[in-house]
Every structure is written in C-alpha cells, then in structure tokens.
Amino acid sequence: MTGGYPLLVADLIGVAVFAASGASAGVAKRLDLFGVAFVGFAAALGGGILRDLVIGAPPPLAFADWRYAVTAVVASIAAFWLHPALHRVRRTVLVLDAAGLGLFTVTGTLKALEAGVPPVGACLVGMLTAIGGGVTRDLLTREIPVVLQKDIYAVVALGGAVLVTVLHGLGQTGVIPFATAAVVMTAVRLIALYRRWSAPVAVP
Amino acid sequence: MTGGYPLLVADLIGVAVFAASGASAGVAKRLDLFGVAFVGFAAALGGGILRDLVIGAPPPLAFADWRYAVTAVVASIAAFWLHPALHRVRRTVLVLDAAGLGLFTVTGTLKALEAGVPPVGACLVGMLTAIGGGVTRDLLTREIPVVLQKDIYAVVALGGAVLVTVLHGLGQTGVIPFATAAVVMTAVRLIALYRRWSAPVAVP
Amino acid sequence: MTGGYPLLVADLIGVAVFAASGASAGVAKRLDLFGVAFVGFAAALGGGILRDLVIGAPPPLAFADWRYAVTAVVASIAAFWLHPALHRVRRTVLVLDAAGLGLFTVTGTLKALEAGVPPVGACLVGMLTAIGGGVTRDLLTREIPVVLQKDIYAVVALGGAVLVTVLHGLGQTGVIPFATAAVVMTAVRLIALYRRWSAPVAVP
C-alpha cells in the first residue's frame, strides 16, 4: 500500500485527533502544559510505537519522522488552549476519532503483515495500533482503560484487522480495497456509537 | 532445551492459567467481554512479550505463534462465563499458577541466555517473564501490582532463574535438570503459600 | 562520547539516586522488600530500557551490564533500611537527582543520535531516558506521574536534549561540551526548584 502523500496527510489527521483526545484527558486531570502535551503525544503515537517495537522496526515512526511528533505536540497545545471549544465540536471529534480508528488499524495490520508477522499476530498488532494510544492515555491519567469497559471500539478494530488480513491474503495491493476497509470500520464505529451497542459484562 | 511438543503443551497450560487469572481480575472490575479477554491476554502473554522485546527477538512469540494468542483468548472467555465456578477450583488454580511460575521462569531464563544476555541480565529476564503478565494485569485494572506488596512469588522466580543460569553455566542441555528446576520452584511457591511466608515491609 | 570510567561512575551514581527515589516511593506505599527493590530498579533503569528498545539496541544496558542492575538493587535495599535518614539528606538527594537528570539526558540523546535517530526523535529519546524511570515508578505505585503535573523537570530535559543535539550537529565529540550541557541542565533544574518555577495549567 504505497499511499504516499494522501496517506501521510490522513495519518497526521488521525495523529492530531488522538492527540487532542489525550490532551483533553490531561486537562481534565489538571496536568500542566508539559503533562498535557506528553499525554497527547502518548495517546497519538503510543499505539504506533508499540506496533513498531513488536514488529521489530526501530526506531518507531514517532521518533524517525519528525512530522508525527510535531503534529501530536501542536494538536495537544491547541487542545490545551481551546479545550472549552472542543466540547462544542464534540460530534466532529467523534467522527474524526472513528476515522482514525479505521486508518490506524489498516496501516498497523499492513505494516505487520509486510514485516512477516503471521495473520493472527498481524490482526492483534493492527488492533493494538488503533487502541494502544488510548490505553496509554488512560494509564497515564490513572483510569482503567475505557476501551476495556464498554462500547464497541476495539472489536471494530479487530474485525477490521481481520478484513485487511483477508484482503492482503487475496493478493490485494491497491489503495482502493484498504481505503474501503477503513471507511467500513469508521461507519461501523459510528453506527455502534449512535445505537449505543456494547459488549456484554459478566453476571456478578 | 529442545522440549518440543511436551514443552509446548506445558507452556500453553501456563498461558491458559495466567489468562484465567487476568480474566477474573477483569470480571471483578466489571470490564466487558472484550476487556476481560484483553486483560487475560495481557496477563498470559505480557511477560513473554516483554522478554522477547528485551532479548531482541521480534515479533514476540505471542504474535508469531497463533496458538498462544488463541489459548489466552479462549481461556479468558471461558473464565468470563465460568468465573463463579473458578472460585470453587481455587486450590487447583493456585497449583497450576505455581507450575506456570516455574515453567515461565525456566523458559524465559534459557531464552535470554541463548540470545546472549549475560547471567545477571538473564536472571532478571527470567523473573520478568514469570511476573510481567501479573504486573500488566494489575496496571490495567488500576491496582498496585500484588507481586510488589506481599507473598513470596517473584523471589521464587528470581531464585529459580539463578538456579537455571547455574545449570546452564555447568553445560547442562537436557530436559531433566531444567524440568527439575521448574518442579522445585513450583514446590517452593506452594510451601510459601501454605506457610504464609512473606517478605519484610519497612518500619514506618 | 567515549567518557570511559568517569562516565560509568557518574552513570552509576545517577542510577543509585533514581533507585533511591523509587525505593522511597515503594516504602511509602507499604510495599515489601522485593517490591521496593523492583520499583527502585524500574525508577533507575526504566528510562534507559525504553531508550534502548526505541533505538533498537537489545538487550538494554540494564540487562547487558550487571553493574547497573546491582547498583540499582543495592541502592534500593539501602533506602529500604535507611529511609527515615533519607528525609534528613533531602537537599543532597535533590541535587543528585538534578545531576542524574542532566547526565541521563546527555547520554540518552547521544546514544539515539549515534544509533541514527534523526534530531527531533533523538531529543524525545533523550528526554524519555531522563523521565521514563520516574514515570514508571509512579505508574507502579498508582500515581499520576508527578512529572506531568507540576514543576520544571521534563522541560529542562527537553531543552538540554536540544542543546546536545545542536552540539552534536556542530561536530562536537569531546567530553567537555557535553559535560557542560549536563552541568547547565543541573543548574537550571536547581534554580527552577529554588524559585518554584512551574508550567501553566489550563483554565478550567
């Protein structure tokens, strides 16, 4: 998947949105400007760092390409100053977050497959790429990761990663099928939000 | 140590037991089915993932061999449905957990030594292989890791790792001496549980 | 930067001081002797382990050179027994901690640059080397990392990492310029402590 410039731009939009989610969590915990930027960086790039360590591709992209770190930090600082306004654009943020979920799963799964990780492992790596940042954000702000508690979020990532792995196994290499997979995941995530779908909790 | 099939089966039993411990912790925190499976996966395979990253063997076994991930997830889902019954087999779980402690320490220490990690580092890697999953489980469920607070658990792992390193240094390569080391660790752990041995806490 | 023996001694002093800070946090949380040693080890060596994983240099120094692990564990056990006395030498500990901050940033940044990490990434790696241990200590003891909440600590590390990267880019290779950078960072950190400088917190 040689998406080139459009893929980079899409990736950086995902980074910015995930950074804003981390920065907002940091503001809510009364962190200082550095702490807010740090949690934003971790939320945006933690999943990708984990991915690159697991597939054996050091240094992770977050350290190898300055545009990722700078985007995460700028978005975090913007969220620090603009956080009351973020609430007003809450719907937009949720849509962009769903798009980030789809995109990060697709790129994470493909990178794992291309690094030689077998199919089941590649699906897990793809899912971790999408949810790893949010888990890191919640650990740093002393919360049980929200993705483990409710909502259909990680399951969308896992299903999407399976779809990407199947497409890859069928020999697909173009942008269209994988972009479609990302769009499908985004749509499923938004429907799940709208319909308030959630996974079962054990009977006590 | 080319234990082959018997070693794989023993390893997967350890994975299943550690996954059940993680899943039980997830159920207790009211996580949803995905969260329970995720914490079970992390408890079962977190130590081995850390081990493989530290010794420079990507991708970690948890991603390279699908049988590990599938075993962890199936055991977690079973624990999700059967968790009231788990309490009734509590003694069996503790024995299997002690066996997992012994086994994971032996395989972790040997992998580190064979990857060229020097003796002191290999002992630490062996211990981290055994306790890393439990520490990850506790961090994800917002607990101070229980292994840091009381009980003789990690110290058994560390002592066992030293024993394995000495055996390896003496040129042992067969299954018997290392299997014996695992059995000794399991026994010491069970005696420590039964006698309620614990490490000292500082005077306030 | 081939500092040789003097650099090793300075590095181990930094390890000992960071280990004592971790051990003190463990004692305050009523951890047992093993837990105190583990948190001390993580506080002293967590930043360096993260650094070596990110730059692709396994096994991390903490596992490759026994002197690091032994120093961290001995310092932690000393803090376990002597912790009431630690409070009386609080000023000395703060000065040594500031020196550790400067030193770890310099060595972390240089190692990243020499491993081929580009400048922006190397600055981040240098900062993470200095603050990673403290963040790990706080996560293990269930605190929001103090470095994210207040004080000028990580920002000193980041500024120092930029300075080291500029010096390296200018072709400096001797000990003097980098030692000077470490001293400047130590001084800035102490002035920040004395003057109670802190980063801004968002308006609620």
ipTM: 0.92
Place of tokens 């599938």: B70
Dihedral sign from CA coordinates of C112, C114, C117, C123 = positive
Please give the residue of chain B at the shortest CA–CA distance from A203: B81
Check B118 against C66: CB less than 8 A apart: yes
> Does A175 reside within a domain?
yes
Residue B52 lies in a domain: yes
Nearest CB partner across the interface for B117, out of C32, C34, C64: C64
C118: contact with A, CB 8 A cutoff: yes
pLDDT in tens, B87-107: 778 888 888 889 999 999 999
Amino acid at A22: G
- B201 within some domain: no
CA distance C16 to C30: 21
Q: Which of residues 150-179 of B touch A (CB under 8 A)?
A: none
Are C60 and C52 within 8 A, CB to CB? yes
- C-chain CB neighbours of B115 within 8 Å are 59
Nearest to C60 by CA among B42, A6, B125: B125
| C199: amino acid identity, one letter | A
Render pLDDT for A45-67 as a digit per residue (tens, 0 to 9). 999 999 999 999 999 999 999 99
Q: Is C202 among the domain residues?
A: no
Q: Which domain holds residue B152?
A: 4-195
Disruptive mutation site among A55, A61, A63, A73 for chain C (greatest number of C CBs within 10 Å): A63
pLDDT band at A3 (very low <50, low <70, confident <90, very high): low
Q: Quick check: is C171 in a domain? A: yes
Task: Please report which confidence band the pLDDT of residue A138 belongs to, taking 50, 70 and 90 as the band edges.
Answer: very high
Instruction: Count how many domains chain A has.
Output: 1
Interchain pair A139, B139: CB under 8 A: yes
Number of inter-chain CB pairs under 8 A, B vs C: 90
Domain assignment present for residue A201? The answer is: no
Chain A within 8 Å of B44 (Cβ-Cβ)?
Answer: no
In a domain, A22, yes or no: yes
Whether A63 and C198 lie within 8 Å, measured CB to CB: no
Q: Is B90 exposed, middle or buried (0-12, 13-18, 19+ CB in 10 A)?
A: exposed
On whether residue B103 sits in a domain, the answer given is yes
Q: In chain A, what residues touch C135 (CB-CB under 8 Å)?
A: 140
Q: What is the pLDDT of residues C140-171, one digit of tens each?
A: 999 999 999 987 899 999 999 999 999 999 99
Residues of chain B under the 70 pLDDT cut: 1-3, 204
Average pLDDT for C174-185: 93
Q: Which residues of C touch A66 (CB under 8 A)?
A: 118-121
